[in-house]
Amino acid sequence: MTDLVSTIIAKYNYWIYITLMMIGLYAMIAKNNLIKKIVGMSMFQTAIILFYVSIGVKKGATIPILEYSHGHGHDTQLVVHAADYVNPLPHVLMLTAIVVGVATLGVALALSIRIYDRYNTLEEDEILTQIREEK
Amino acid sequence: METIETITSIKPLLAVLISLLVVPILVSSRTPNVREAWTFVAAIAKFLLVISMLPVVLNGAEIVYTVAEVLPGVAIKFRVDAFGMLFALVSSSLWIVTTIYSIGYMRGLKEHSQTRYFCYFALALSATIGVAFSANLLTMYLFYEMLSFATYPLVTHHQDREARSSGRKYLLYIVGTSIAFVLPAMMISYSLAGTLEFSGQGFLAGTSSKEVTILLLVLFLFGFAKAGIMPFHSWLPAAMVAPTPVSALLHAVAVVKVGVFSIVRVLTGVFGTDLLLSLNLGTFIVYLASFTILVGSLIALSQDGLKRRLAFSTIAQLSYIVLGVGLLSPKGITGGVVHIAMHAFGKITLFMCAGAIFVATGKKNISEMVGIGRRMPITMTAFFIASLSIIGLPPCGGFLSKWYLVLGSLEAHQMPILFVLLTSSLLNAAYFMPIVYKAFFCTPQEAMFENTVQEAPLFCVVPLVITAIISIILFFYPQPFFRLADIMVRNITGM
Amino acid sequence: MKIIGLIISVLTGAMLVYAAADFPAWSDPSSPASTYLSPHFIEKTMEETSVPNIVTAVLADYRSFDTMFETAVIFSAGLVCFFLLRTTRRKESETETTHYRHTLTGVTIQIKEGHTLPPSDEFERIDSLWTPSGLIIKTSCRLLVPFIQLFGLYVIAHGHYSPGGGFQGGVILGASIIMLAISYDLRTIIERISEKMVAVLCAVGVLIFSGTGALCLLLGVNFLDYNALAPILLVDPLTARSHAILIVEIGVGVAVMTTMIWLYCNLSSAGKYNQGL
Amino acid sequence: MSQQYPALLVVVPLLSAMIISIAGWVNKRWCFPIAVAALGVAACSSVGLLLQVLDQGKVIYLMGGWPPPMGIAYYIDHLNGLVLPVVSIVALLNLIAAKKSIEQQFPDKIGPFYSLYVLMVAGLLGIVATGDAFNLYVLLEIAALTGYGLLAMGEERAPLATLNYLYMGTIGACFYLLGVGYLYIVTGSLNMVDIAGILPDLYQSKAVLAAFIICMVGVWLKMAFFPLHAWLPNAYTYASSAATGLIAPLVTKVMIYVMIRLMLTVFTPAFVFSFLNVSDAIVWLAVIAIVTGGVLALAERDLKKMLAYIIVAEVGYMVGGAWLGNRDGMTGAILHIVNDALMTLCVFLVVGNIVYKVKSYAFENLQGLFRKMPFTMGAFVIGAMSIIGVPPTCGFFSKWYLITGAIAAGHYAFMAALLFSSLVSVVLFFRVFEICFHEPFSDNHGHDHHSEAMDEAPLSMLVPLLIVAATLIVVGLYTGVIVNQIIQFAIPASLV
Amino acid sequence: MIWQLDLAILTLVVITGIGALMVKDLLGAAILFGAYSFMMCLLWSIMGAVDVAFTEASVGAGVSAVFFVAAVFRTTRRTKD
């Protein structure tokens, strides 16, 4: 029992990310409103970002900015220990992912505005009924 | 077994391509005369190319040309051997005749889209020669399919509802069987043997179990539905909606003969006679063919449409060839192979006669043709000669091939086949002779035509006279075909 | 659909939970992710690029190729929105009605298309749906915007030493303009920064980035290998890297700022550019 | 300059996309020449790369001069060396062919269209060329985003269909990203070759298994593999013909390339085929995909949707072939990437020409087309023959390898599905041909048939189409060369 | 790092996320989504990912929310679920 609890505690970030992802995925599939789906999509993306950021975390490490080299004289004697700084690579990747997220968001919203212009509703079932009636 | 001398030459490729090359000229030429002149030139050039290879083949050598190695161990490759030569000779010579006839027929009926017609005709001939000269199963399949698609616009030339439904049936049978049966059979053979090259003794021997061999045989036999083996025959009568020259060349000569040619090629070049003999599969083929012969002839009896009757006659006659090869005896194979030529000349004459009658009188049904002999004596005489040839009576070429078939069945100790051959000859006579009889010998009251001679246009009559005469000549001088057949038999039996 | 969604998400979740069991413990310093590549970045960044902010260094130098396409992604989002939404021609059925307010009395009047208002200073054009008239909002935004923009510039320029960089700075700059557009109205912004300028600047931003890379290529080394820029920037190769990173960050900043404005203009006016949020 | 081909390949289109976008605001007439020039450079460098690969094996290009795994590297081997020229040439041909219809459809948005088009090609080329798992994601998104833009500008229903595609595409890309994250967490690397070097010790790990499954599902979503195909037909049908001409031939094929790359390079055949025992199940899925695609295509009454369903079936071919787990099947799948890209391009260009002239692609409006547009229809016949799989068109030969692979793997259902699909294609295409050839019916035995005169598409649309049609046959004849010189080396020796 | 705080924020993230999806008003959903993003941003800054947090603060909580509001403004607030 303690084992289970410790597993849960040791990786709770992962569990939360999985929960968020499931919520996002469910919203994308099951929600009827187009904008709600887009919200779900954004949550899905942020969940993955959370996962990546969690990979980078390191116990006892600080943010990945070398503090004592402020200014322009690069001191060659300076020794940097990798263990002192969190892993910067996932952060870099996730910056890109966030950008992709906002780009997708913009396009999706533009599409939903187009759809609203045409069908005057954002509910998927109502749109499909309209399409069927037109046939 | 003697080694066969091979010569590399581009001639087979040229012979195939020559009709493709004239297609652009046909499309671009504005006047009908220029267009038909070019078709004619192509036909003669093709014939000459084929003829120029004849001496080499008669000397026992083979001409080989590889176009491209497309798959490991399989190339698009041509090989001119005796059997292919025989078939190429028949089809290329008949193209010339048919071209003349087409000009007469199409102009006589003022058909539409004649340019398209001549183009696809040329394409179909390319494909036929391609099948004849192909060195392996893949090349053969390639040209076989090309022929199927090239003939579709010819069959549906009239572009009306009837043509559409017939075209549908045609494609369904021909393409359906080739994709569903031949293609997998070819793939299985390839994965078993690692090659698709036709060889004298077949390449499947020793690579496959009995069950697989039987499966492959069935797939191949029914897959080449152009041969019209029952139950995959009903496309042939349906395809009779096509203009008569198309029926004449393609359904009496090119398409159906490509079907049987392919079957014979596969039986000899893929399976090999030894393998078939050792598994006793010849009998199966023979009985299958016999069934088609008898049933086809019986159905022919009941048909009133002249072209439909000829179509069922064709179905029956094609199986003679399969039967001959199925006997697996040298004489039987010779008979079957020579029957390709003999039947071609006979049947094309009959079809051209049917067309000539249609052009001159507009009649399609036999019951409307009483007394027609008085009006079109030349045509009906040719009809008479050709039907003699088909029935297998001297002095016509058909007699010789049937004679060899009889000898072959004796050689193979297949007595029931003798009976089949005899019965079918009687049936042949029964469905041809009444036509001729009614045409010439009827009472004046019965006659449906005025008693003045009025033949079809000259372009229509001359070709059918030529082919009828050739049918007779072949009785006296059948040597080229027999020599080719001999060479072929020597190759496949190793004797 | 709800049930299918539930099943799919539960299945996915179950598989992920199952796989997570094999993960290294969270925040474990000895996990492969922390021991394989990242030490190199952490320890060598200063030597190789002379940028203390490792994230900036990796973003704009080691993995600058990614970042270049990230900028292109943002650019394409702006372009797609424009492509999809922008309508230059109105539908036949719609007639444009413009709304004016009498500044002294607050009375709003509608002017149908084809009619004009007599020229007067007392009327100001307003949006039909949204009429921001709050003096407090306008004034405070007006006061705030310069500071926000200054901060944005700082974030871009100081990205080497502190969190931030072209992307964050660009968004802040863009946000400042968007704020202006919300507190005033869309027309005000479009009068100051024309659509054409936004669109061209957006492409120029990406061009700065990829052009820098292409310049390296022209100078005979690999794409985005900033060392080659040393002779042009008149510094030693190591500093050249640091400077080049600044250049590309500026490119990113320009592209992101303009794209944000572009996206906002298109989305809030549904491509009509007449009135916004 | 020749060692810079990998950079030129992607960078030139990217730079020109920006320049086109600016040019669109200055002078619209410059857009098209710049786009053609950019794709021309890309095509030349991709061909140059292929020659280099043939000459010296692998080509590695370090972006920014950073050695992998620190930086991003492009690895060009025989596999993507083959796919790159196909992508760039298909894109170039379609661009030239689409000029008129773009001008017809988007007169005031020419600049953005060309810009998005070229950007998308840059993305697709990058996906194929890259050797970095995360870089692939970024490029995937760039190709996807521009693709949404291109697809959504079409008929009335296009935005909705595209939005559905966007949801699915985003889930797919995110799954892929997640899979890469899983790989990163256990290996610490993002470079494909590097990951492949570390993985063998970790085959037992559940995380690797999960990574593989997630990546595959993501990629399948993007390529519209059977149960995940629902977005494709609508998205492709309602888009403009210029956009479908680019997207239909390339996107699914590039995704199949990604799948094969993941299977062969990242996870290696040892893991995919020997360690996991799922090949059979996936080939069965492919069988269902092929059959469903064919049957659904039969139910359609308009040309474009029918072709869209054929794409679903073709995806089944390639996935099935790749998963047969033997050399022939893999060869067939890779060869089919090339062939299918070309033949899909061919048929969609035909649709483009028809739409340009007839303004419709519903079956009932195709009457008399053989008379009206003989060259277009001629190319259509060749394209159809290739899809049916008639020699010597290229479609036959990839089918040949797929079937040999199926026989070698003993998977006769897959073989049967391929044959079934050929038969269905015959029915599908001849149904169209019948309408174009026979109808409208006239009662006079066809004598006064089709009095309308010829009304062909303009030359700029016709010439690329005819080139593609001829290529279908040429590629077919050179199958032996392609397989022996290129594909043979693209498949690791461990896969027998 | 204070794990209690971490846990609390994680819970808040989930709550705001679900809230954004549940609320029957799209404008409310947009605002809740902004809150969700902001919580996310806090979480990441706790984890030491300052750059990512910075970006998320400006993009997710800022611009994205504005885009949502703009889109809702151009379409409708009404939603059935």
Residue with the bigger pLDDT between B495 and C108: it is C108
The encoded tokens of residue C73 equal 């992604």
What residues of D are in contact with residue C69 (Cβ under 8 Å)? 14, 123, 126, 135, 138-139, 142
What pLDDT score does B378 carry? 86
> Using CB atoms, which chains have 3+ pairs under 8 A with A?
C, D, E
| Distance from the Cα of residue B348 to its chain's centroid | 10
Q: Choose among A95, A110, A117: nearest Cβ to C266.
A: A110
Reference C64, options C204, C255, C259, C241; nearest CA is C241
Q: What is residue D458's DSSP assignment? A: P
Per-residue pLDDT at D444: 53
Mean pLDDT of chain C: 85
Q: How much is the pLDDT for D93? A: 94
Q: Quick one: pLDDT at residue C94?
A: 61
Strands B6-8 and B62-71: parallel
Q: Find the largest Cα–Cα distance for chain A.
A: 76
Q: Is E26 in Cβ contact with A35 (below 8 Å)?
A: yes
> Are residues C85 and A109, on separate chains, in Cβ contact within 8 Å?
no
Number of compact structural domains in chain C: 1
- Listed residue (D388, D243, D257) closest to D315, CA to CA: D257
CA distance B257 to B144: 11
- What lies within 8 Å, CB to CB, of A19 at 6+ separation is C13, E14
Please answer yes or no on whether D17 and C77 come within 8 Å at the CB atom: no
Considering only the C-alpha atoms of chain B, give the largest distance between any 2 of them, rounded to a whole number of Å. Answer: 71
Does E38 fall in a domain? yes
Q: To which H or E segment does residue E34 belong?
A: helix E26-46
CB of D149 within 8 Å of any CB in chain A? yes
From B394-408, C80-94, D145-159, E41-55, the region with the lowest mean pLDDT? C80-94
Chains that touch B (3 or more CB pairs under 8 A): D
Ranges of beta strands (E only) in chain C are 97-102, 108-112, 123-126
Q: Are B53 and B85 in contact (CB under 8 A)?
A: yes
Q: Is residue D11 part of a domain?
A: no
Evaluate whether C240 touches C95 at the Cβ level (below 8 Å): no
A81 contacts in chain C (CB < 8 Å):
43
Q: Does D254 touch chain B (CB under 8 A)?
A: no
Looking at residue A70, what is its pLDDT? 47
Instruction: Enumerate the residues of chain D whose CB falls inside 8 A of the CB of residue C24.
Output: 185-186
Contact D21 C79 (CB under 8 A): yes
Distance, in angstroms, between C17 CA and closest chain D CA? 10
SS3 state of residue B2:
coil
Instruction: Give domain status of residue D121, yes or no.
Output: no
| Domain-located, residue E39 | yes
CB contact under 8 A, D159 and A111: yes
Determine contact: A20 vs chain D, CB below 8 A: no
Q: What subunits make at least 3 CB pairs under 8 angstroms with C?
A: A, D, E
d(CA B150, CA B443): 46
Asked, for residue D431, whether it belongs to a domain, the answer is: yes
CB distance from D5 to chain C under 8 Å?
no
The most confident of C128-137, E9-18, E72-81, by mean pLDDT? E9-18
Report d(CA C215, CA B303) in Å as an integer: 84
Domains and CATH numbers, chain A: 2-62+81-134 (1.10.287.3510)
Average pLDDT of chain D is: 90
The values of phi and psi at residue D16, to 5°, are -70, -30
How wide is the angle at C-alpha A130 spanned by C-alphas A127 and A132, nearest 5°? 110
pLDDT tens-digit series, residues B184-240 = 999 888 888 888 888 877 888 777 788 888 999 999 988 898 888 888 888 888 888
Percentage of residues in chain C with pLDDT exceeding 90?
A: 32
CB-based contact (8 Å) between D470 and chain B?
no
pLDDT in tens, B312-366: 888 888 888 888 888 888 888 888 889 988 888 888 888 888 888 888 888 888 8
CB-CB contact of B343 with B399 (8 Å): no
Are D14 and C75 within 8 A, CB to CB? no
β-strands D59-62, C97-102 pairing: unpaired
The answer to whether residue D192 is domain-embedded is no
Distance between CA atoms of residues C214 and D8, nearest Å: 9
Please give, one letter per residue, the 3-state secondary structure of D382-443: HHHHHHHCCCCCHHHHHHHHHHHHHHHHCCHHHHHHHHHHHHHHHHHHHHHHHHHHHCCCCC
Q: Tell me, what's the pLDDT at E7?
A: 79
Inter-chain contact D392–B142, Cβ cutoff 8 Å? yes
Give the Cα separation of D117 and D107 in Å (integer).
Answer: 16
d(CA B105, CA D367): 29
Residues 6+ apart with CB under 8 A from D259: D216, D219, D220, D223, D319, D322
Q: Do chains B and A touch (3 or more CB pairs under 8 A)?
A: no
Select the residue of A20, A53, A99 nearest E13 (Cβ to Cβ).
Answer: A20
State the Cα–Cα distance between residues B44 and B33, nearest whole angstrom: 16
Question: pLDDT category, D446, cuts 50, 70, 90?
Answer: very low
Give the A:D interface size as CB pairs under 8 Å.
Answer: 63
Residue pointed to by tokens 């705030």: C144
Question: Among D157, D159, D171, whose Cβ lies nearest the Cβ of A28?
Answer: D171
Could you tell me what percent of chain A has a pLDDT over 90? Answer: 45
CB contact under 8 A, C277 and E73: yes
Closest listed residue to residue D172, CA positions, set A25, B389, B156, A69: A25
Residue D326 region by backbone torsions, left for phi larger than 0, else alpha for psi between -120 and 50, else beta: beta
What is the distance between the alpha carbons of residues A31 and E22, in angstroms, rounded to a whole number?
10
pLDDT of residue E77: 87
Distance, in Å, from the CA atom of B189 to the CA atom of B193, rounded to the nearest integer, reads 6
Closest by alpha carbon to A50, among B4, C31, E60? E60
The pLDDT of residue C131 is 59
Asked whether the beta carbons of D123 and D142 are under 8 A apart, the reply is: yes
Query: Of the spans A5-19, B395-409, B455-469, D302-316, which averages the highest pLDDT?
Result: D302-316
Predicted pLDDT at D462: 92
Chain centroid to CA A52: 9
Tell me E77's DSSP state: S
pLDDT of residue D418: 93
CA distance linking residue B388 with residue B469, whole number of Å? 12
- D69 prior amide bond cis, ω within 30: yes
- Nearest residue in chain C measured CA to CA from E48: C163
Question: Residue C33 domain-assigned?
Answer: yes
**Is-contact D271 D203, C-beta < 8 A?**
yes
Q: Which residue of C has its CA nearest to E75?
A: C270
| Share above pLDDT 90 across residues of chain D, in percent, rounded to a whole number | 64
What is the number of structural domains in chain E?
1
Q: Residue D383 — pLDDT band, cuts 50, 70, 90?
A: very high
Say if D243 is an interface residue toward chain C (CB within 8 Å). no
Q: Lowest-pLDDT range, B164-173, B444-453, C90-99, C186-195?
A: C90-99
Burial class (CB in 10 A: 0-12, 13-18, 19+), B410: middle
Cβ C267–E67 below 8 Å, yes or no? yes
pLDDT digits (tens, 9 = 90+) for D147-163: 999 999 888 889 999 99
3-state class (DSSP) for residue B75: strand
Q: A-chain residues within 8 Å CB-CB of C8?
A: 25-26, 29
Residue in chain B nearest D389 by alpha carbon:
B179
pLDDT attached to residue B1: 42
What domain count does chain D have? 1
Q: What is the pTM (predicted TM-score) of this model?
A: 0.92
Tokens matching residue B158 = 């009239």
Q: pLDDT at residue E67 above 50?
A: yes
Instruction: Let me know: does B337 contact B264? Beta carbons within 8 Å.
Output: yes
Q: Confidence band (pLDDT; 50, 70, 90) for C133?
A: low
Instruction: Please give the pLDDT value at position A71.
Output: 47
Listing DSSP states for B276-323 in one string gives HHHTT-HHHHHHHHHHHHHHHHHHHHT--BHHHHHHHHHHHHHHHHHH
CA distance E11 to chain A (A): 8
Per-residue pLDDT tens over the stretch A66-112? 875 444 445 555 677 777 888 889 999 999 999 999 999 999 999 99
Do the chains contact at D152 and A111, CB–CB below 8 Å? yes
pLDDT range class, residue B58, cuts 50, 70, 90: confident
The model's pLDDT over C150-169, given as tens digits with 9 standing for 90+, comes to 999 999 998 888 888 889 99
pLDDT-above-70 percentage for chain B? 97
Average pLDDT score over residue span B98-113: 80
Asked if D168 has any chain C CB less than 8 Å from its own CB, the reply is no
Q: Smallest CA–CA separation between C218 and chain E, in Å?
A: 32
Residue B219, both tokens: 């797939």
Q: Do chains C and E touch (3 or more CB pairs under 8 A)?
A: yes
Give the span between the Cα atoms of B354 and D255, in whole angstroms.
Answer: 59
More confident residue, C92 or B489: B489
The whole-angstrom separation of Cα D26 and Cα C200 is 10
Residue-wise pLDDT tens digits, C189-208? 888 888 899 999 999 999 99
Q: How far apart are CA B344 and CA B350, in angstroms?
A: 10
Cis upstream peptide for B153 (omega within 30°): no
* Residue D191: inside a domain: no
Paired sense of beta strands C123-126 and C97-102, if any: antiparallel
Q: Is B282 left (phi over 0), alpha (psi -120 to 50) or beta?
A: alpha
Identify the closest residue of chain A to D165 by CA–CA distance. A108
Provide long-range contacts, Cβ within 8 A and 24+ apart, for A40-44.
A40/E21, A41/A104, A41/A105, A41/A108, A41/D167, A41/D170, A41/D171, A42/A101, A42/A105, A42/E33, A42/E60, A42/E64, A43/E17, A43/E20, A43/E21, A43/E33, A43/E36, A44/A20, A44/D170, A44/D171, A44/D174
Distance between CA atoms of residues C72 and D141, nearest Å: 10
Amino acid at the residue B377 = P
Contact assignment for C56 to E59 by CB distance below 8 Å: no
Among residues of chain B, what percentage have pLDDT more than 90? 7
Q: Please tell me which residue of chain E has the smallest CA distance to C163.
A: E51
Q: Which of B180, B152, B197, B140 is nearest to B6 (CA)?
A: B197
Contact C255, C74 (CB under 8 A): yes
Mean pLDDT of B32-50: 86
Domain span including residue D405: 278-496
Position with higher pLDDT, A69 vs B476: B476
**Cα–Cα distances in Å, from B358 out to B187, B454, B455, D297, D309?**
45, 13, 11, 43, 47
Residues of A in contact with D170 (CB under 8 A): 41, 44-45, 104
The whole domain housing C38 covers: 29-87+133-268
Q: Does an interface of 3+ CB pairs under 8 Å exist between B and E?
A: no
Side chain identity at residue C260, one-letter code: M
Give the residue numbers spanning the domain of E47. 3-74
The yes-or-no reply on E/D contact (3 CB pairs or more, < 8 Å) is no
Residue D171 lies in a domain: no
Phi-psi region of B362 (alpha: psi -120 to 50; beta: other; left: phi over 0): left
Terminal CA-CA length for chain A: 61
Separation between Cα atoms, residue D42 and residue D28, nearest integer Å: 22
pLDDT at residue number D449? 47
Residue D144's pLDDT band, with cuts at 50, 70 and 90, is very high
Q: Is residue C20 part of a domain?
A: no
Give first-to-last CA distance, chain C, whole Å.
Answer: 34
Q: Chain C partners of E55 at a C-beta cutoff of 8 Å?
A: 167-168, 171
